[in-house]
Amino acid sequence: MQLKITVVAGDGIGPEVTREAVSILRAVAELNGHQFTYTDMPIGGVAIRQHGSPLPAATLDASLASDAVLLGAVGGNEFNSLPPSQRPEAGLLQLRQALGGFANLRPSIAYPALAGNSPLRPEVTEGANILFVRELLSGLYFGSPRSWNKDTGVALNTMYYTREEVLRVARVAFEQARKRRKKVTSVDKANVLEVSQLWRAAVTEVAAEYPDVTLEHQYVDACAMHLMNTPRNFDVVLAENLFGDILTDEAAVITGSLGMLPSATVGGKVNLYEPVHGSAPDIAGTGKANPLGAILTAAMLLRHSAGLEQDALAVESAVNNVLSQGHRTTDIARSGQPGQQSGQHIVSTQEMGKLVFAALHEIFNRKQALHAV
């Protein structure tokens, strides 16, 4: 397998966590005979300092010429005085738009070793493994007209979808469900919104193409409640832009830390992979950042751009093993005395990366030994 990856580490803790993710990708390539090449390019605040733009043309060109883009994080307080179109976040928005991904995939998984990190009871979260598929390029965030008339005190936004926009993201959800537990929960507000009535009709139309996948419809308010009450009843959750934005953040409590959450944006020219967490400039350079979200994002890259499902599962298993052994960065450590907390070993960003690296080697060595028998 040959893969060209553009790495845009960005700002704050982005370079630290991305370094560990790339280390894992290098290990996968070395151990399994793949050829991955990496091109490091600036984005966000570092690009503004170096080139005067949050998305230099060279970064965009390299991204469009690659097979996948791996992002760290963007943003920094020093740029808050700039106009919105010139801030670091504008570079990320421009990159997403140029790459054209319309479906955002975000897993929400209850790791047994982190059961105590969620505000939900362990018996509620146990076994939860949800994949959210969020439509990313339409809906209320992009619809027009939009305005705020400060003189009249009237503001307007437009929730807008076409049938084709719904059909394409629904097919992504159903394809993912076929690889999992074969169930799609489509979220809408069809009892109030005409847009949701279109959404429901189009999703139902796609469901006919997938007779092996069960479809259920839920109103967004009911879904928000059921995610907290019975999260393991969900498999793939399909939602339009606004509803997906809210529900995915709500479901983060199932895992217990933003630092654990990966994401992928697919469906366009080139897939974009980024951990959910922000740039966290207050801890940048301290070694406190959790690289597991970035490493799990690398696993999604292996799955969705390289088509290496077994390698992706190996990376995810390595993360699970390290957590089960009690290793924690500070954000996922339970309260107690520093250093050794309730049987947990507190490690730095780099140490956590090395632990996953070692666990991954162990998994692959064990597989090779089994094949040799």
Annotated active-site residue 245? The verdict is yes
Catalytic residue among 141, 182, 183, 367: 141
Catalytic residue among 11, 245, 311, 331: 245
Annotated active-site residue 179? The verdict is no
Annotated active-site residue 189? The verdict is yes
State the Cα–Cα distance between residues 304 and 265, nearest whole angstrom: 10
User: Which residues have C-beta within 8 Å of that of residue 371, sequence separation ≥ 6?
Assistant: none
Annotated active-site residue 269? The verdict is no
Query: Residue length, the chain?
Result: 373
Tally of CA atoms within 13 A in the half-sphere of 161 that contains its CB:
29
**Dihedral sign of CA atoms 144, 147, 153, 159 in order:** positive
**Contact status, residue 106 vs residue 276, Cβ threshold 8 Å:** yes
**Alpha-carbon distances of 179 from 174, 176, 303, rounded to whole Å:** 9, 5, 11
Count CB atoms within 10 A of the CB of residue 343. Answer: 8
Structure tokens at 191: 């009892």
SS3 355: helix
How wide is the angle at C-alpha 247 spanned by C-alphas 24 and 20, nearest 5°?
10
**Contact status, residue 239 vs residue 136, Cβ threshold 8 Å:** no
How wide is the angle at C-alpha 204 spanned by C-alphas 203 and 206, nearest 5°?
65
User: Which residues have C-beta within 8 Å of that of residue 309, sequence separation ≥ 6?
Assistant: 302, 303
SS3 106: strand
Q: DSSP string covering 136-154, please?
A: -SSGGGT-S--EEETTTTE
Structure tokens at 72: 């760290």
Structure tokens at 313: 């599962």
Annotated active-site residue 188? The verdict is no
For residue 94, give the H/E element and its range: helix 88-99
Q: Which amino acid belongs to residue 84?
A: P
SS3 182: coil
Catalytic residue among 40, 67, 182, 249: 249
Catalytic residue among 111, 161, 188, 189: 189
Residues serving a catalytic function are: 141, 189, 221, 245, 249
